[in-house]
Structure 1
Amino acid sequence: MKDLQEILAIAREVGWGASDILRSYYHGTAKDPDLAVQYKQNEPVTVADIAVSQYILEKLQAALGHEEFAYISEETYQSQLSRETAKWVWIIDPLDGTRDFIEKTGEYAIHIALVKETRPVLAVVAVPEAEKLYFATIGGGTFVETHDGCVPIQLSSTKRIEDLIVVASRSHRNESLNYLLENLPCRNYKSVGSIGCKIAAIVEQQADIYVSFSGKSAPKDWDLAAPELILTEAGGKFTHFDGSFLQYNTGDINQWGGLLASNGQHHQSLCESATRLLAEFAG
């Protein structure tokens, strides 16, 4: 198999290419800019999702083949369920934040993660409208790439817990999550669209905390695998409320339960608060 840095170079190039395609649809300059919207399990899907999914899969498969790697994309996973036995799996979200893409908030992203067994070892998160690409490898740190070059990102913070900024979704809410957000010790909130953009806000130190709690549905592997590694390699933390790590490629694409991402500061205390608040809510 190729060296991880060689694979990363390929994934970065694919991330930039995918960004160009999404921006062409977003700004109406694509050959066929019609963003006809369909719904799959109550979630919107556009021709841009499909086009970028095909592009990413074709480029990765042409460079890396099928022998050593399996591939799962949000748009194609139902035909690829046998991939769960593979040791190395690409987990891809060609358009994270489709609603934001449609509503033109600019807060959409592309996720490309390489998972070994159940944990991510390589990640690319592209934020097209910011013209930025975040990348990380396990043990290698996190970097942000622009057209001017790459710089490392390392989180540092000395805020009091009440001064931490929680970044939250505008649309993916339920009663239990609202209760959590209203009662955590943090008092500052910021609405940001896609999960990739939320994690980008944390690594850019524009926010500090992201909380997810599944209701009838849950975040999927492709929502979290790439952003998680970007955050943790920058010095942040991303765990279940009980402190355990997320597991991917397990045969269940859903990430059930409570999840907390942070800049690393006050992480355990916030997990404990979230657990207590959920017990209060259920009681």
Structure 2
Amino acid sequence: MKDLQEILAIARAVGWGAAEILQSYYHGTAKDSNLNVQYKQNEPVTVADVTVSQYILQKLQAALGREDFAYISEETYQSELNKDSQSGADWVWIIDPLDGTRGFIEKTGDYAVHIALVKEHRPVLAVVAIPEAEKLYYATKNGGTFVESRKSSNLLQLSFNNTTKHPEELTIVVSRSHRNQKLNYLLEHLPSYHQKSVGSVGCKITTILEQQADLYISLSGKSAPKDWDIAAPELILTEAGGKFTHFDGTALQYNTRDINQWGGLLASNGQHHETLCQQAQEILAQFERL
């Protein structure tokens, strides 16, 4: 098997290629730019989702094969067929070809490509491409987080030694669409009262990396974010010095028998992370008593 840096080079190239395809649909320059929007479990799916999924899988499998790796993509995942075979693989690619499909359709610019390589239920390599920003973020376990444009690549490290904020000064990046009564209650009662609305988990996490926000909260309700929503964004955040955990402080697990990430998740630049997790649990306990 190739070493991790060789695999990363392949994944970065695939990420840029996927970003170009998405932009061609987004800006109407694709040969057939009709998105043909359909809905699966109340979530939109477009031709762009499917086309980019096929592109990523084809490129990765052509370069890396199927002997050493399994592949899970949002657009091809079928739980009954995969839950036994995929969860037993040592190395698994977890792919979201278009994170933020609603923003893509509504032309907000908030959409991303997520490509993560998971070993033993934890990400070891990640690529997050933000097409409209023309940036690609990538990380390897214990290797730091980098961001590159078409012209340059620079090590991106979160550093807040000189910009420590009080909890009430922190900015929470929140979803444009995935909201419910419990989440609203939590956001209203946390000490951080500045909010910034951004679609796509990948875009939310890169907003933290770019120091335009400080934390992001996910709270499952009837549904929950999936492995492909979280795996790649988690690694690019944590390798840059941030934190991404369950409210109880435990690490997220991927490629288990359940693709859902249930419960409360908190991603941050590291400031007040444990305190905010504890406060979130206390606020939710209050909500349950209402």
- TM-score class, shorter-chain normalisation, is over 0.9
Secondary structure of 2:87's counterpart equals: helix
1:202 to 197, 200, 208: 208
For structure 2, list consecutive stretches of 5 or more residues without a partner in the other structure.
none
Runs of 4+ in 1 over 4 A off after TM superposition: none
Tell me which amino acid in the other structure corresponds to 1:184: L
Equivalent positions of 1:29-40 (< 5 A) are 29-40=29-40
User: Equivalent residue for 1:122?
Assistant: 125
Equivalent positions of 1:85-96 (< 5 A) are 85-96=88-99
Q: Once the 2 structures are TM-superposed, how far is the Cα of residue 147 of structure 1 from its aligned partner?
A: 1.1
Separation of aligned partners in 1, 2:35 and 2:200: 18
User: Equivalent residue for 1:254?
Assistant: 260
User: Equivalent residue for 2:168?
Assistant: 162
2:148 to 145, 165, 176: 145
Q: Once the 2 structures are TM-superposed, how far is the Cα of residue 161 of structure 1 from its aligned partner?
A: 1.1
Secondary structure of 1:16's counterpart equals: helix
Tell me which amino acid in the other structure corresponds to 1:130: A
Secondary structure of 1:254's counterpart equals: coil
Equivalent positions of 1:234-245 (< 5 A) are 234-245=240-251
Separation of aligned partners in 2, 1:142 and 1:156: 12
1:268 to 261, 268, 274: 274
Separation of aligned partners in 1, 2:179 and 2:214: 19
Q: Which moved more, 1:149-158 or 1:16-25?
A: 149-158
Separation of aligned partners in 2, 1:183 and 1:61: 47
Q: Once the 2 structures are TM-superposed, how far is the Cα of residue 251 of structure 1 from its aligned partner?
A: 1.1
User: Equivalent residue for 1:47?
Assistant: 47
Task: Map Cα deviations across residues 13-48 of structure 1 (whole Å, 9 max, x no partner).
Answer: 000000000000000000110011000111000000
Q: Once the 2 structures are TM-superposed, how far is the Cα of residue 80 of structure 1 from its aligned partner?
A: 3.4
Residue 229 (1) aligns with residue 235 (2) = yes
User: Equivalent residue for 2:69?
Assistant: 69
Per the normalisation by structure 2, the TM-score is: 0.97
Q: Once the 2 structures are TM-superposed, how far is the Cα of residue 153 of structure 1 from its aligned partner?
A: 1.1
Task: Map Cα deviations across residues 116-140 of structure 1 (whole Å, 9 max, x no partner).
Answer: 0100000000000000000000000
Separation of aligned partners in 1, 2:66 and 2:120: 16
1:112 to 111, 115, 120: 115
Tell me which amino acid in the other structure corresponds to 2:111: Y
Per the normalisation by structure 1, the TM-score is: 0.99
**Number of residues of Structure 1 aligned to a counterpart in Structure 2:** 283
Task: Map Cα deviations across residues 28-74 of structure 1 (whole Å, 9 max, x no partner).
Answer: 00011001100011100000000000000000000000000000000
Q: Which moved more, 1:143-152 or 1:213-222?
A: 143-152
Separation of aligned partners in 2, 1:275 and 1:156: 27
Equivalent positions of 1:5-44 (< 5 A) are 5-44=5-44
Identity of aligned residues (%): 75
For structure 1, list consecutive stretches of 5 or more residues without a partner in the other structure.
none
Separation of aligned partners in 2, 1:193 and 1:76: 23
